[in-house]
Structure formats: structure tokens, C-alpha cells
Structure 1
Amino acid sequence: MIFLENEHLKASFSSKGAELQSLVSKATGANYLWDGNPEYWGKFSPVLFPVVGALKNGTYLFEGNEYKLPRHGFARDNEFKAEKISDTEAVFTLNQNEEALKVYPFNFTLKLHYKLIGTNLSCTYAVLNPGTNELLFSIGGHPAFAVPTNEKLNYNDYFLEFNKDENLTYYKINGDLIGDETDVIYMNNHSLPLTHQLFYKDALVFKTLKSDTISLKNTNNAHGLSFSFKDFPFFGIWAAKDADFVCLEPWCGIADGINHNQELKDKEGIIVLPAKGNWERTWSVTCF
């Protein structure tokens, strides 16, 4: 485990999956992150790499060969090399290895760089291509935030506030894949009330979200968080059935569509990184 701390926040991370596992306010003692109760969902904030979501039939095709990958890829289950840079910064690194190359025939370096500044925690995904061929990948975040953080409140006291969207058009999930059918949630004042029933049919998946900041607030006090995710073209919102959390998931990539031909090069949202190239995206959470 690695621990970061400043005057406002304390955070803990596991080298397995480079996973953020707690984010605690020093002023209130509240943990903004889900506690990982395995009765509902035994993770906290996994990184999704080298695919986001499920593959059609659990497989993809590349250069005439068929490969299998689990939902959300393998990075979340691998040990990263952990380096604590300072009291407020840490970097976790994962490189290709023999096991990874059997299911994902690409050379890569994946780094997660966490940094505390004031009441903000940022997470930067950096992907480097050390090879001589193109690197094809998707990547995304899956942080689960506690709802409620205060034992006097309940789930229905909370809502999500979108900084730009007035209504939400989402894609329905069809057997773990993205269907062609959409639906619309009509919001009042950019706000989506949280209910457990909202996620009974799986995640809400967005391809056309205008917002780049979503705030988690409640109707009883001024505490909450703002989640910022500029330049992530896809987004998911999810919770396990009747669990007291909400996942805010910024994605560069998305699960296969029901009509996908399974060719990795044709996968929606796939990123193509040239030889010796590098790529970065950052999401951050500000606690208040």
C-alpha cells in the first residue's frame, strides 16, 4: 500500500491494479470512496485497460488471429511497480509481460500518476508505445464514490449535477454489449436524482455527453465532490444492485456494440498510438 497526504486529504492505493482505495477528508473524517464491500462489489477504483467493457463473445481479432480478454481487460488484476515521489505524489507502472502478450500482442507501458493538491486528487493515465508497431488500446476509469458519506443521510438524498447537459441520452446495454437503442432522461436544473432503481438494468452509457464536470451533492448539507474528466469521449454511470455507491466512469473506449465485427482496428473508440508515441488523459476529484 502507498499513502498520500496533505493538509486536507488522505488517500491510500494498492500496487495491485494501481487502485485508489480510500480518499478521506481530514476535516470531517468522511471517506469519499466506496469501502469495497464484496457483498456488493469488491473493488474501489479499477483502471480499465487495454479494453473498456466487454468484448463480443469475449474475443477480438487482430492480424488474422483471435484473442480473448476479460471484461475491462487485465490491468486491474496485475501488480504495478509503485513509486512514491513525495508525500503527495505517486506513480504506478505496468509493462507488457509474457502472460499479457499471449492475450494482447502489443508492447506497452502504462503509468498511473496520482497527485494531491489542496482538496483535489488527480489521476493521469499515461500510455507509452516502446515498440516499432502501432499500439491499439482503450482505457478508462471506474472510481466508486460512497453514497452517503454521512450515516445520517441515505441514497435518495443525493443527486448528480451536470455542468453542461440539460437532458441525458444514454445507450441501453444488451447482454454486456452496447445496443442500438437509446433512451432519454429529462433532468430538472441539470440534476439527476440518485435512486438504486436507476441502475437495475446495468450502467447508463453515454456517447454524446456535453459535460466535463459532474458533481455529487445532497439535499441536506454542503458536502460533496466534483468530478472532472476533460477529453474522455465516453462515460458510464453505474452502481451494483442496492449498493451505497455510484461509479463515475470516464472512458476513452467503450464496450463492443452488438453488431461489431470483432476486429480490434474497427473497435469503437480504439486509440491508435504510433511507435515511440505517448498519450495522456487526466480525471480529477475535488472534495468539499
Structure 2
Amino acid sequence: MITLENDDIKADIHPHGAELHSIFSKKEQIEYLWNGDPSFWPRHAPVLFPIVGGLIDDTFIYQGESYHLEKHGFARDSDFEVEDSTSTTATFLLKSNEETLKSYPFAFELRLKYRLDGAKVILDYEVSNPDQKPMFFSIGAHPAFKVPLTSGGYEDHALVFSEVEEADSWAVSGNYLTTPSRYLDGQQRLDLRHDLFYNDAVIFKDLKSTSISIVNNQNSHGLTYEFKGFPYMGIWAAKDAPFVCIEPWCGIPDSIEHDQNIETKEGIIRLEGQQNWTVSQSIACF
């Protein structure tokens, strides 16, 4: 486990999956991240790469060949190299290898760069293509935040969007997207209830917001999650679980009618040979 710490917060990141395991406010004495209790969900904040969500039959096609790749990809279950670390920064590296090439025929380097700034955890994603040919990928975050954070119950908490939203949510059938319906209709606040997630995740393609805050009706504690540059969003919790996942994505699950060609998959990113791609997000605790 790698621990980053300053005067305000302490963050623990495990090299397995380069996964954030804890965000602890030293000033408030509050843990913000879900503890990974396997009776609900055994993860904390997995990294989704090289796909987000599910593929039809867990399969994609590239240049006429079929490849089997399970939901959310393999990065979350891979051991990353700790490339460098200081008291407040750490960089984790995953490279393509014989095993990844069996299910994903692209050379890549994936770096996750964590850093602390006051009461904020910043995560920079960097994807590099060391090959000459283009690579095709998606990437996303899946952090689970503890609810309730301190006092009160689940329904004493709400998600507050940075913009007033009129947005459709895409339904999920198995791993795949089906039909949309209007979900946010001139709203900036979504009160949390367990039954919001009884039919799986709430998935948005067209949010205007670049941040979502978790607020508590019982006190002033919460967090703000900034995700500019992530065009898709999933919000999810396991059934009746004491957490909520806010999931900014650069990529999205297959639609039910997709032809499985990775080059034409919705949300896929094409990265040319010898090029780098970056995006950042941050979690500010209060």
C-alpha cells in the first residue's frame, strides 16, 4: 500500500489495480471512501480500462478477429508498477504484455498519477501508444463514497450537480444499453434513495455538469468530485448498500444493436501511434 499524506488528508492506494482504498480527512476525522465490505461490493475505486462497461457477448472485433474482454476490462485486476512516489504524489504504471495482448491486441502504457493538494486528491490518467498503429480504448473511474458520511441515514444525502440538468438516462439490460428516458428534468439536486439503483446504474450521455457534490442534510460535511473532460457518467450502488458510486467515463457500455467492431464503438478513443492522451479528475473533501 502506498500512503500519501499532507496536513489535511491521507490517501491510501494499492498497486493492485492502482486502486484508491482510502481518503481520510485528518482535520474532520472522516473517511470518505467505501471500505470494500464484500457482503455488498468488494472494491473501492477500480480503474476501468481498456473498456468501460460490458461488450456484447464480452467480445469485440478488430480487423476481422474476435477478442474476449470482460466487463470494465483488466486494469482493475492487474498489478501496477510503482514508477515513483513522494509523500504527496505517486505514479503507477501498467504496460501491455503477453497476457493483455491475448484479449486486447494493442501495445499501451497506462499511468495513473495521484497527487494531494490541500484537502483534494487529484488523479491524472495518461495513456501512451508506443506502437506505430493506432490503438482503441476507453477509460473510466468507479469510486464508491461512503453514505452516510457521518450522521444521518442514506436518504439524508443528495447529489448536487454543478449545472441544472435536463438529461436522459440510458437503461441497462444485462451489460448493455437499451432505450433512454428522461431522468433529470430541470434539476440540480438528486436525493439519494436505495431504490434508485434497483434496476442497475443510472447512465447519462449528455450532462452539462463538470462536478457533482455529495451533501448531507444533517451537517456541512461532504465532497465535490470534478470530472471535466469525461463525457459520460454512471451513478450506481449495490442493492441497499451504504455507498454511492459516481463514475465519470471516457467510454460507455455497448448498445444492444452494436456490431461489436471496436473501431466504431460509441465513446471509443482512437490514439495514434507514438501519441499520448491525458485527462484529470479530483475529489475535494469538506
TM-score range, shorter chain: over 0.9
What do residues 54-75 of structure 1 show as CA deviations (whole Å, max 9, x unaligned)? 0001100001100000100000
Residue equivalent to 1:223: 221
Q: Which residue of 2 aligns with 1:165?
A: 164
State the Cα deviation string for residues 162-181 of structure 1 (Å, max 9, x = none).
01133332111122101123
Note the 1:209-220 alignment, pairs <5 A: 209-220=207-218
Q: How far is 1:187 from its partner?
A: 5.8
User: 2:118 is matched by which residue type in structure 1?
Assistant: G
1:239 equivalent among 221, 237, 256: 237
Whether contact under 8 Å (2:165, 2:208) holds in the other structure is no
Residue-pair matches, total: 286
Question: Could you say which residue in structure 2 is the equivalent of 1:271?
Answer: 269
CA distance in 2, matches of 1:128, 1:200: 38
Residues of 2 paired with 1:95 and 1:167: CA distance? 40
Please show how residues 80-229 of structure 1 align to structure 2 within 5 Å: 80-150=80-150, 152-186=151-185, 188=187, 190-229=188-227
**Aligned residues of 1:2 and 1:84 also touching (Cα < 8 A):** no
In structure 2, what is the Cα distance between the partners aligned to 1:184 and 1:223? 27
Q: What is the percentage of aligned positions where both structures have the same residue?
A: 47
1:25 is matched with 25
Contact 1:172/1:183 (<8 A) preserved: no
- After superposition, residues 255-266 of structure 1 pair within 5 angstroms as 255-266=253-264
In 1, the alpha carbon distance for the partners of 2:272 and 2:76 equals 24
- Please say if residues 165 and 209 of structure 1, whose CA atoms lie closer than 8 Å, have aligned partners that are also in contact: no
- After superposing on structure 2, the runs of 4+ consecutive aligned residues of structure 1 that deviate more than 6 Å are none
Partner amino acid, structure 1, of 2:30: A
Match in the other structure for 2:250: 252
State the alpha-carbon separation in 1 of the partners of residues 130 and 165 from structure 2.
43
1:156 partner letter: E
Structure 2 CA distance for aligned equivalents of residues 213 and 64 of structure 1 = 40
Q: How big is each residue's C-alpha offset from its partner over 1:180-218, in whole Å with a ceiling of 9 and x where there is no partner?
A: 232323365x11000000000000000000000100001
Paired with 2:105 and 2:165, the residues of 1 have a C-alpha distance of: 42
Q: Which amino acid is the alignment partner of residue 88 of structure 1?
A: T
Q: How far apart are the structure 1 equivalents of 2:78 and 2:164?
A: 36
C-alpha separation between the residues in 2 aligned to 1:131 and 1:156? 49
Which consecutive residues of structure 1, in runs of 5 or more, have no partner in the other structure? none
SS in 2 for 1:165: strand
How large is the Cα RMSD of the aligned pairs?
1.0
TM-score by length of 2: 0.98
In the alignment, the residues of structure 2 paired with residue 234 and residue 83 of structure 1 have an alpha-carbon distance, to the nearest angstrom, of 29
1:84 Cα shift? Answer: 4.2
Unmatched 5+ residue regions in structure 2? none
TM, length-normalised to structure 1: 0.97
1:44–1:144 contact (8 Å) kept in structure 2: yes
Counterpart of 1:38? Answer: 38
Question: Aligned partners of 1:254, 1:234: CA distance in 2, in Å?
Answer: 7
Q: Is the 8 A contact 2:165 2:207 kept in 1?
A: no
- Cα distance in 2 between the residues matched to 1:84 and 1:2: 11
- 1:149 offset after TM fit, Å? 1.6
Contact 1:160 1:191 (8 Å CA) reproduced = yes
